[in-house]
Amino acid sequence: MEVDELTHTTKYVESELTRRLKSIEDELDCDIITCIHPISQPMDDLIRDYIEDIQEKRKKLLVIIETNGGSIETAERIADVFRYHYPGEVNFLVPNFAMSAGTVLVMSGDNIYMDYYSILGPIDPQVRNRDGQFVPALGYLEKYDELMKRSSKGTYRPQNSRFSFRNSTLLRSIASNRLVTTRSTF
């Protein structure tokens, strides 16, 4: 395929997507934003700028999302932007998947639309270990539980442990929360 043909095809696809999204916006009487990217900096800033540039906002927002996840803090900031600008209703459409931080973002919505193929992923909080690598927080909780059992039996020796209890309360709070989801067909 030549460069001119590729450019023409790309412009046609973009034009067709824009036309169809506009049709859905009009039918549902909502603004639509697509989020097909990792949930990480600077996406929260880009989304805020994009939404603030919309001149005549409708009362409702539909977010079409597909993401492998990312930063919980960024997801929270994006959710805050959506709620600030669309206090009426924020809905999410998950045509394929929204994992980890994407699941957290989707759960901030008023309605979640999924079909039989759509999935929300596990929420697995990550913390940095002493080497600066991210590791699952649940591993720390399991070690904490093991050490607490050993301590209650009198077999725990703190001098032999490399585990830090510094963040154990925070980790337990984060990782113990249970996620309950429902599926609606769109």
Domain that holds residue 73: 3-123
- For residue 43, the tally of other CB atoms under 10 A from its CB is 19
pLDDT at 185: 38
Is 176 part of any domain? no
Is 18 part of any domain? yes
Per cent of the chain over pLDDT 70 is: 78
CATH of the domain at 69: 3.90.226.10
Is 9 part of any domain? yes
Burial 150-174 (b: 16+ CB within 10 A, else e): eeeeeeeeeeeeeeeeeebeebeeb
Kindly report, residue by residue over 21-55, the tens digit of the pLDDT: 999 899 999 999 999 999 989 999 999 999 999 99
Burial class (CB in 10 A: 0-12, 13-18, 19+), 64: middle
Number of domains in the chain: 2
Instruction: Based on the fold, state whether residues 44 and 100 are members of the same structural domain.
Output: yes
Q: 168-176 and 137-153 helices cross at what angle (nearest 10)?
A: 120
Instruction: Based on the fold, state whether residues 7 and 65 are members of the same structural domain.
Output: yes
What integer best gives the mean pLDDT of the chain? Answer: 82
pTM above 0.85, yes or no: no
Instruction: Based on the fold, state whether residues 114 and 67 are members of the same structural domain.
Output: yes
Instruction: Based on the fold, state whether residues 109 and 165 are members of the same structural domain.
Output: no
Instruction: Based on the fold, state whether residues 62 and 79 are members of the same structural domain.
Output: yes
| Residue type at position 140 | Y
Is 181 part of any domain? no
171: left (phi over 0), alpha (psi -120 to 50) or beta: alpha
Instruction: Based on the fold, state whether residues 110 and 149 are members of the same structural domain.
Output: no
Kindly report, residue by residue over 69-101, the tens digit of the pLDDT: 988 889 999 999 999 999 999 999 999 999 999
